[in-house]
């Protein structure tokens, strides 16, 4: 049967001319340099620049639309097609893939204009657009078309195989049933909402309390929509790798029931790489010839089907001596469902360009979506610090010498930063202007670091990566200052200066990325208040909010409010009363409890009061805790030989993403309302939200603070049979504006003494 395909010239050439080795560089830096060179050179050209072309080719009864944009085109008796490429060194001959691009465009020009011959020109440019070397040739129409069709035939084989897979997949999706025997309360309604959002190309913002079985209820309708051609790939995005467990289980169940979709996981390079070194054939044996060996591994995986988890990818990468990370990236292009970190979608320097640049039909399922704001804000913020640059300069001076352009670029930026005079010598940020020269110098440093990356001369690789991680976000942010979504902040500490281009609102960027795709579903147990979260996450009028009630009996959690002031100025005065309350809670019933404090300082203040009476029960969080300490903490709470009292900080390691079901945790106390520490960054954000949404404090402070409270309070009830108490300590919980941000299923008690729900309390209520 005849099939229709569509491919860009760039994709076709990348498909037909894969590299052999993995080499460093590339990515956004090369793209930025390449674009700068193009822009500069195109200004000097006569004729048309960035001219769009599209032609249909019919091959073996199948239609392929080839499209793209020529860098430059000049019409005439002998039309000229010019491809421009950025280069660091003058090549002896044009690269085959660059010539191939020009050949494809020239063939399309022949078909469009009916001409017999075309002049092809491949120009190599320096970053400033100056011509380094140019290669010209004149080619005949027949030869150009024959060559282009030969490449299209290579692609057609692959495209037909993929179309066959999609047919099988869609047939399996039509027959697919919900992966559990029955829908839980609310799951069916949620599934409907997700399906409708995808069908109507909307964003959905959903508040889904613990226990609603959200992974399956979100994935199932998305897959059904895929089977009906309503969406392309599904990206399941998480903020932590551990959050992938539940969607992977749901997908494995569906595969066991006949689903024939390809499912893969993308984990960070640092976690997959067996020996992190320079990704270069000279340094890493897996980088040499990686792409020559990769197709055999991919074929084996395609035959095997199933879930391509880290273990599967690592094992086959070992077998074929491949780079596991590069293999994992390749698999994302073949998979129907990809589980990966939020950053691979929203961080401009980590985004999977191979998917986002070429696809506009994907659905993003964003789990624990309350993390999205901070994560995107962080990736869009750029910061330079003269003290940090000085350390890198010292290291570079020792190995490269002071005359090296990289050393000089570091010096120029460092000295310019230090010459700035922010108003106060404090450790706090101040709003100031930014001289344009800083961007020029940062760009030059970035260029020198990229050059060194290609040919390292003794500078530690990590130093170069770190420098690029400083320069790229800074330049990216600098280009967006006019949006009003940034604050320029300076800080002075002794001789050193820091400048931060702080992202105040990432809503525009989140809206841009999700708006380019079929749909996005943001969901979390604490995505509240929903309408406000929709605004903060870039949602519009047309987008939809949906909330499910908690599936657990509300009687199982007793919530108490204690009206002490925990404001900064009152903390010393109320520490003793808070300690007394903790003692009352701990003695109310034998079991494990956690108290969450707004800061380590407050925690220590109260800890001093508890040391004497409760010393042996205390488990105290410290800022230095690592993975092992975290495990020890969990083990202690799993051991029921004696009751435990955890003292932790709100928003920290133990206030989110931890499961202590049953008797492992029977009570929690949250001290304060979670407001962020006042700072210049915070007040700039508040001002921006005031402009955007009206109530700056509410959006910048109260909402994120209360989300932390909900996360911490949500640790107590993790299953239908859990029972426990929650004590909220702060007089602000009595104010309607704070009470409105607490979940409807938290039932407040007025008794003076703390009592626990019993096994019969729910039944008693029914009687």
Q: Should residue 474 be labelled a site residue for ligand SF4 when binding is judged by CB under 6 A?
A: no
Query: Structure tokens of 181?
Result: 């025997």
Query: Structure tokens of 674?
Result: 């979670």
Q: Considering only residues 143-202, where is the footprint of ligand SF4 by CB under 6 A?
A: none
Closer CB to ligand SF4, residue 271 or residue 357? Answer: 271
* Choices 323-331, 406-414, 421-429, 706-714; region in contact with ligand SF4 by CB under 6 A: 323-331
Query: Structure tokens of 703?
Result: 């909402």
Closer CB to ligand SF4, residue 326 or residue 341? Answer: 326
Count of residues near ligand SF4 by CB under 6 A: 13
CB of 211 to ligand SF4, least distance (A): 39
Alpha carbons 97 and 15: distance in angstroms, whole number: 10
CB of 273 to ligand SF4, least distance (A): 3
* Choices 73-81, 269-277, 566-574, 585-593; region in contact with ligand SF4 by CB under 6 A: 269-277
* Choices 276-284, 349-357, 726-734, 757-765; region in contact with ligand SF4 by CB under 6 A: 276-284
The DSSP call for residue 548 is: -
CB of 13 to ligand SF4, least distance (A): 23
Alpha carbons 725 and 723: distance in angstroms, whole number: 7
The DSSP call for residue 244 is: G
Label the pairing between strands 4-8 and 48-59.
unpaired
CB of 286 to ligand SF4, least distance (A): 4
Q: Considering only residues 326-345, where is the footprint of ligand SF4 by CB under 6 A?
A: 326
How would you label 466-497 residue by residue, b for 16+ Cβ within 10 Å and e otherwise?
A: ebbebbbbbbbbbebeeeebbbbbbbbeeebb
Q: Should residue 277 be labelled a site residue for ligand SF4 when binding is judged by CB under 6 A?
A: yes
**Backbone CA torsion sign across 736, 740, 745, 746:** negative
Closer CB to ligand SF4, residue 274 or residue 401? Answer: 274
For 449, other C-beta atoms within 10 Å of its C-beta total: 25
CA dihedral 659, 660, 666, 672 (to 10 degrees): -50
Alpha carbons 39 and 125: distance in angstroms, whole number: 11
Q: Should residue 276 be labelled a site residue for ligand SF4 when binding is judged by CB under 6 A?
A: yes
CB of 33 to ligand SF4, least distance (A): 22
CB of 356 to ligand SF4, least distance (A): 21
What are the distances in angstroms from CA 328 to CA 248, 262, 317, 412?
16, 13, 9, 40
* Choices 91-99, 163-171, 270-278, 594-602; region in contact with ligand SF4 by CB under 6 A: 270-278
CB of 233 to ligand SF4, least distance (A): 24
Residue from the set 53, 323, 355, 564 that interacts with ligand SF4 by CB under 6 A: 323
Contacts 24+ apart (CB under 8 A), 162-167: 162/334, 163/3, 163/5, 165/262
CB 473 within 8 A of CB 349: yes
CB of 276 to ligand SF4, least distance (A): 6
Label the pairing between strands 593-597 and 234-238.
unpaired
Question: Residue length, the chain?
Answer: 767
Closer CB to ligand SF4, residue 160 or residue 329? Answer: 329
Query: Structure tokens of 320?
Result: 């074929």
Strand order from edge to edge, sheet including 557-562: 618-620, 645-649, 593-597, 667-671, 724-729, 557-562, 747-749
Q: Considering only residues 524-543, where is the footprint of ligand SF4 by CB under 6 A?
A: none
Closer CB to ligand SF4, residue 282 or residue 299? Answer: 282
Residue from the set 124, 220, 236, 325 that interacts with ligand SF4 by CB under 6 A: 325
Binding mask 280-309 for ligand SF4 (x = CB under 6 A): ----x-xx----------------------
CB of 54 to ligand SF4, least distance (A): 36
CB of 26 to ligand SF4, least distance (A): 12
CB 41 within 8 A of CB 129: yes
Residue from the set 88, 153, 269, 739 that interacts with ligand SF4 by CB under 6 A: 269
| Residue 526 phi, psi (nearest 5) | -125, 35
Closer CB to ligand SF4, residue 98 or residue 286? Answer: 286
Query: Structure tokens of 204?
Result: 């959905």
CB of 306 to ligand SF4, least distance (A): 23
* Choices 109-117, 268-276, 391-399, 618-626; region in contact with ligand SF4 by CB under 6 A: 268-276
Closest CB to ligand SF4: residue number: 323
CB 501 within 8 A of CB 344: no
With helix as H, strand as E and coil as C, how does 475-535 read?
HHHHCCHHHCCEEEEEEEECCEEEEEEEECCCHHHHHHHHHCCCEEEEEECCCCCHHHHHH
Closer CB to ligand SF4, residue 88 or residue 269? Answer: 269
* Choices 205-213, 267-275, 459-467, 592-600; region in contact with ligand SF4 by CB under 6 A: 267-275
Q: Considering only residues 78-117, where is the footprint of ligand SF4 by CB under 6 A?
A: none
Alpha helix (H) residue ranges in 592-657: 600-614, 627-638
Element (H, E) at 135: strand 131-140
* Choices 100-108, 272-280, 392-400, 468-476; region in contact with ligand SF4 by CB under 6 A: 272-280
CB of 378 to ligand SF4, least distance (A): 24
| Residue 596 phi, psi (nearest 5) | -105, 125
Closer CB to ligand SF4, residue 287 or residue 685? Answer: 287
CB of 277 to ligand SF4, least distance (A): 5
For 367, other C-beta atoms within 10 Å of its C-beta total: 24
Binding mask 213-252 for ligand SF4 (x = CB under 6 A): ----------------------------------------
Closer CB to ligand SF4, residue 217 or residue 328? Answer: 328
Closer CB to ligand SF4, residue 270 or residue 425? Answer: 270
**Backbone CA torsion sign across 86, 90, 95, 98:** positive
Alpha carbons 132 and 86: distance in angstroms, whole number: 9
Closer CB to ligand SF4, residue 16 or residue 268? Answer: 268
Closer CB to ligand SF4, residue 344 or residue 522? Answer: 344
Closer CB to ligand SF4, residue 330 or residue 592? Answer: 330
Q: Should residue 273 be labelled a site residue for ligand SF4 when binding is judged by CB under 6 A?
A: yes
Collapsing DSSP to helix, strand or coil, 305 comes out as coil
What are the distances in angstroms from CA 763 to CA 560, 661, 719, 746?
22, 21, 17, 18
* Choices 131-139, 319-327, 564-572, 694-702; region in contact with ligand SF4 by CB under 6 A: 319-327
Rounded to whole angstroms, the maximal C-alpha distance in the chain is: 96
Q: Should residue 120 be labelled a site residue for ligand SF4 when binding is judged by CB under 6 A?
A: no
Closer CB to ligand SF4, residue 273 or residue 636? Answer: 273
Closer CB to ligand SF4, residue 273 or residue 577? Answer: 273
Contacts 24+ apart (CB under 8 A), 393-401: 395/459, 395/460, 395/463, 396/459, 396/463, 399/457, 399/458, 399/459, 400/457, 400/458, 400/459
| Residue 562 phi, psi (nearest 5) | -115, 120
Q: Provide the binding-site residues for ligand SF4, judged by CB under 6 A.
A: 22, 269, 273-274, 276-277, 279, 284, 286-287, 323, 325-326
């Amino acid at each position: 049967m005849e099939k229709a395909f569509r491919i860009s010239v760039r994709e076709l050439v990348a498909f037909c001319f894969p590299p052999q080795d993995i080499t460093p560089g590339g990515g956004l830096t090369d793209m930025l340099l390449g674009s700068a060179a193009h822009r500069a050179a195109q200004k000097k050209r006569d004729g048309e620049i960035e001219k769009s072309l599209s032609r249909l080719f019919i091959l073996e009864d199948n239609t392929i639309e080839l499209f793209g944009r020529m860098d430059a085109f000049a019409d005439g008796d002998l039309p000229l097609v010019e491809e421009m490429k950025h280069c660091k060194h003058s090549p002896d001959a044009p690269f085959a893939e660059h010539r191939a691009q020009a050949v494809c465009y020239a063939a399309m020009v022949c078909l469009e204009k009916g001409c017999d011959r075309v002049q092809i020109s491949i120009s190599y440019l320096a970053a400033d657009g100056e011509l380094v070397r140019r290669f010209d040739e004149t080619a005949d129409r027949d030869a150009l078309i024959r060559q282009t069709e030969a490449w299209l035939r290579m692609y057609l084989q692959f495209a037909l195989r993929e179309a066959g897979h999609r047919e099988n997949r869609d047939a399996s999706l039509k027959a697919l049933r919900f992966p559990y025997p029955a829908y839980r309360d609310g799951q069916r309604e949620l599934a409907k909402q997700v399906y409708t959002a995808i069908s109507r190309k909307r964003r959905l913002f959903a508040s889904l309390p613990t226990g609603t079985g959200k992974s399956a209820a979100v994935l199932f309708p998305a897959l059904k929509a895929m089977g009906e051609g309503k969406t392309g790939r599904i990206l399941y995005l998480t903020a932590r790798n551990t959050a992938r467990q539940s969607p992977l289980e749901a997908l494995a169940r569906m595969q066991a029931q006949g689903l024939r979709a390809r499912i893969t996981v993308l984990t960070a390079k640092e976690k997959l790489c067996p020996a992190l070194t320079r990704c270069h054939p000279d340094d890493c044996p897996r980088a040499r010839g990686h792409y020559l060996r990769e197709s055999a591994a991919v074929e084996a995986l395609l035959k095997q089907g199933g879930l391509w988890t880290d273990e599967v990818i690592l094992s086959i990468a070992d077998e074929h001596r491949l780079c596991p990370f590069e293999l994992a990236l390749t698999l994302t292009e073949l998979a129907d469902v990809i589980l990966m970190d939020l950053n691979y979608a929203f961080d401009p320097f980590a985004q999977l360009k191979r998917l986002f640049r070429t696809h506009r039909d994907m659905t993003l399922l964003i789990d624990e979506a309350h993390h999205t704001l901070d994560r995107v804000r962080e990736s869009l913020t750029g910061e330079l610090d003269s003290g940090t640059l000085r350390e890198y300069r010292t290291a570079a001076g020792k190995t490269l010498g002071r005359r090296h352009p990289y050393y000089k670029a570091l010096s120029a930026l460092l000295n310019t930063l230090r010459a700035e005079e922010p108003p106060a010598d404090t450790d706090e940020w101040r709003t100031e202007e930014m001289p344009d020269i800083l961007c020029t110098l940062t760009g030059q440093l970035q260029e020198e670091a990229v050059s060194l990356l290609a040919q390292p001369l003794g500078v530690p690789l990590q130093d170069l990566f770190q420098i690029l991680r400083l320069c790229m976000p800074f330049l990216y942010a600098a280009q967006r200052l006019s949006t009003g979504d940034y604050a320029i902040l300076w800080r002075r500490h002794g001789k050193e200066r820091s400048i931060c281009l702080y992202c105040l609102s990432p809503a525009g960027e989140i809206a841009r990325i999700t708006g380019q795709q079929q749909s996005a579903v943001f969901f979390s147990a604490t995505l509240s208040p929903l309408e406000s979260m929709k605004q903060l996450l870039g949602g519009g009028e047309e987008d939809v909010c949906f909330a499910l009630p908690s599936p657990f009996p509300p009687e199982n959690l007793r919530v108490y409010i204690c009206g002490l002031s925990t404001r900064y100025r009152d903390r010393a005065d109320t520490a003793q009363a808070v300690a007394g309350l903790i003692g009352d809670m701990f003695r109310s019933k034998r079991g494990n409890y956690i108290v969450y404090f707004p800061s380590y300082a407050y925690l220590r203040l109260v800890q001093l009061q508890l040391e004497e009476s409760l010393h042996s029960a205390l488990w105290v969080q410290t800022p230095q805790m690592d993975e092992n300490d975290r495990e020890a903490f969990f083990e202690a709470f799993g051991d029921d030989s004696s009751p435990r009292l955890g003292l932790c900080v709100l928003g920290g390691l133990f206030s989110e993403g931890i499961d202590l079901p049953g008797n492992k945790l029977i009570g929690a106390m949250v001290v304060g309302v979670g407001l962020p520490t006042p700072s210049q960054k915070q007040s700039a954000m508040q001002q921006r939200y005031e402009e955007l949404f009206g109530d700056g404090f509410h959006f910048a402070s109260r909402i994120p603070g209360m989300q932390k409270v909900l996360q911490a309070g949500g640790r107590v009830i993790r299953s239908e049979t859990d029972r426990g108490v929650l004590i909220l300590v702060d007089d602000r919980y009595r104010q309607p504006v704070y009470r409105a941000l607490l979940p409807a299923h938290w039932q407040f008690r007025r008794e003076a003494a703390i009592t626990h729900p019993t096994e019969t309390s729910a039944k008693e209520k029914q009687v």
